[in-house]
């Protein structure tokens, strides 16, 4: 830039306009206003990246934080950054379909530390520097193989087993050690003496979701559903209504009695108004604990669910038993 060697004055209600020097094409460079601490980090040699595709909103990423950006007409302190978006996109197109951390960092708009922490929460394993997503089908098959291997024929107790015993009884063909370790860490509880047992809630929920997805989209007789799910579970595990939360709703039908209706939270649209419309078309009156699992994407803090419902729904019923009914959203 030209004529910016000293402080920019702004007196007598005047303003200053900064333009790119002929040496810098506005097609290749952008002005970015940054927080002072972020500027200091940058000047001290710390890395700051712009991540995402050209069609994404701009974000700045440090090794451990992510900052959203927005376009403005007036600004204060600025940096000049070269736009390498076209090169990054060309490199992505030439990469293998296998996914590495570097590839994720090129397009995911988050810092490296945030991405690594999030990957640890997902059904993802790393093999030879590449990441693999474990499908529900794969997880279920691996759970079944482990259940068969550790079955002690004691139907009233959840099996206890060590990793060493498991590895002696199970074939690792098509099931890498990393996948077994992931399953032990995410679907089992650690007990004393280096032993593991299945985590009841997590195992039941993946079996329940799998069964619901395999059945028609219609009301299911509760007793039949309970029998089906219990026949598929590992020994010592039994169906509980509480594990249907966010997967299905239980209602009492005048004609069929107690029934289960499939309603899986992850299948609902992200648009809030569309999601609420579907929820209240399935059920006109909701208790807070029933609808909460379907709203956690919008209220990550469960304590704020009540405030959210008060804003978007009407309350009916008594003080001892309150229900929420849908009202048209206004924006």
CATH of the domain at 289: 1.10.10
pLDDT recorded at residue 75: 55
Which pLDDT value is given to residue 20? 65
Contact 210, 136 (CB under 8 A): yes
Q: Do 169 and 226 lie in a common domain?
A: yes
Whether residue 278 is found in the same domain as residue 312 = yes
Give the pLDDT of residue 8. 46
Residue 245: pLDDT over 90 = yes
Question: How does pLDDT run across 303-313, given as a tens digit for each residue?
Answer: 777 888 888 88
Tell me the pLDDT band of 91, cut-offs 50, 70 and 90. Answer: very low
Residue that is last in its domain, among 245, 264, 283: 264
Does 117 share its domain with 242? no
CA distance 268 to 200: 26
Residues 199 and 251 in one domain: yes
Compute the average pLDDT of residues 30-44: 77
pLDDT above 90 coverage of the chain, percent: 27
Domain check: are 188 and 97 in the same one?
A: no
Looking at residue 247, its pLDDT comes to 96
Cα–Cα distance between 175 and 184 in angstroms, integer?
A: 13
Instruction: Check residue 254 and give its pLDDT.
Output: 79
d(CA 115, CA 251): 40
pLDDT band of residue 79 (cuts 50, 70, 90) is: low
Distances (CA, A) of 10 to 7, 14, 16, 31, 156: 10, 6, 7, 19, 79
**Does 129 share its domain with 59?**
yes
Token pair for residue 17?
């306009």
Q: What is the pLDDT of residue 317?
A: 80
The yes-or-no verdict on residue 52 having pLDDT over 80 is no
Tokens representing 106 are: 């090129």
Write down the pLDDT at residue 263. 94
- Tell me, yes or no, whether 83 and 106 share the same domain: yes
Tell me: do 70 and 178 sit in the same domain.
no
pLDDT for residue 249 = 92
pLDDT at residue number 1: 42
Long-range contacts of 200-203 (CB under 8 A, 24+ apart): 200/158, 200/237, 201/243, 203/143, 203/233, 203/234, 203/237
- Please check the confidence at residue 26 and state whether its pLDDT lies above 80: no
Q: Are 145 and 110 in the same domain? A: no
Query: pLDDT-based confidence at 115, cuts 50/70/90?
Result: confident
Q: Mean pLDDT, the chain, as a whole number?
A: 80
CA 208 vs CA 202, 244, 249: distances in Å = 10, 7, 12
Domain count of the fold of the chain: 3
Q: What is the pLDDT of residue 114?
A: 87
3-state secondary structure of 159: coil
Question: Is the per-residue pLDDT at 276 higher than 80?
Answer: yes
What is the reported pLDDT for 300? 67
- 119 & 193 share domain: no
CB atoms within 10 A of CB 316: 12
Domain range spanning residue 307?
268-331
- pLDDT for position 330: 39
**Locate tokens 């038993």: which residue?**
321
Q: Which pLDDT does position 88 carry in this prediction?
A: 39
> Is 60 exceeded by the pLDDT of residue 85?
no
pTM: 0.68
Quick check: 127 and 180 in contact, CB under 8 A?
no
Model confidence band, residue 4 (pLDDT cutoffs 50, 70, 90): very low
The pLDDT value given to residue 47: 80
- pLDDT band for position 80 (50/70/90)? low
Q: What is the pLDDT of residue 278?
A: 92
- Tokens 């280096």 found at: 194
List C-alpha distances in Å: 250 to 226, 230, 318, 330: 12, 17, 22, 30
Same domain? 126 vs 152: no
The residue from 101, 133, 165 where one domain ends is: 133
Q: Domain ends where: 133, 150, 177?
A: 133
Greater model confidence, 6 or 237: 237
225 in the same domain as 323: no
Q: What is the pLDDT of residue 16?
A: 58
Q: What is the pLDDT of residue 76?
A: 57
């Amino acid at each position: 830039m030209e004529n910016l060697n000293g402080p920019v004055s702004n007196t007598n209600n005047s303003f200053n306009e900064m333009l790119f020097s002929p040496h810098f094409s506005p097609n290749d460079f952008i002005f970015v206003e940054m927080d002072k601490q972020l500027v200091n980090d940058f000047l001290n040699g710390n890395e700051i990246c712009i991540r995402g595709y050209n069609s994404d909103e701009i974000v700045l990423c440090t090794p451990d934080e992510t900052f959203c950006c927005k376009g403005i007409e007036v600004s204060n302190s600025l940096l000049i950054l070269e736009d390498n978006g076209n090169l990054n996109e060309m490199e992505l197109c030439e990469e293998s379909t296998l996914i590495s951390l570097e590839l994720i960092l090129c397009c995911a708009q988050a810092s490296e530390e945030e991405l690594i922490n999030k990957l640890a929460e997902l059904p993802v394993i790393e093999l030879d520097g590449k990441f693999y997503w474990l499908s529900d089908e794969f997880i279920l098959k691996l759970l079944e193989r482990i259940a068969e291997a550790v079955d002690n024929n004691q139907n009233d107790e959840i099996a206890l087993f060590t990793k060493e015993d498991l590895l002696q009884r199970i074939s690792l063909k098509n099931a890498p050690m990393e996948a077994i370790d992931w399953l032990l860490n995410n679907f089992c509880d650690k007990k004393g003496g280096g032993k593991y047992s299945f985590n009841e809630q997590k195992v039941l929920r993946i079996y329940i979701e799998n069964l619901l997805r395999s059945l028609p989209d219609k009301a299911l007789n509760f007793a039949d559903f309970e029998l089906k799910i219990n026949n598929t579970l590992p020994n010592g595990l039994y169906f509980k209504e509480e594990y249907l939360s966010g997967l299905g709703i239980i209602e009492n039908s005048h004609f069929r009695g107690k029934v289960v209706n499939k309603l899986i939270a992850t299948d609902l649209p992200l648009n809030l108004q569309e999601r609420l419309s579907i929820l209240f078309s399935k059920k006109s009156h909701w208790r807070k604990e029933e609808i909460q699992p379907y709203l956690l994407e919008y209220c990550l803090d469960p304590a704020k669910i009540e405030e959210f419902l008060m804003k978007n729904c009407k309350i009916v019923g008594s003080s001892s038993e309150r229900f929420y009914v849908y009202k048209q959203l206004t924006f």
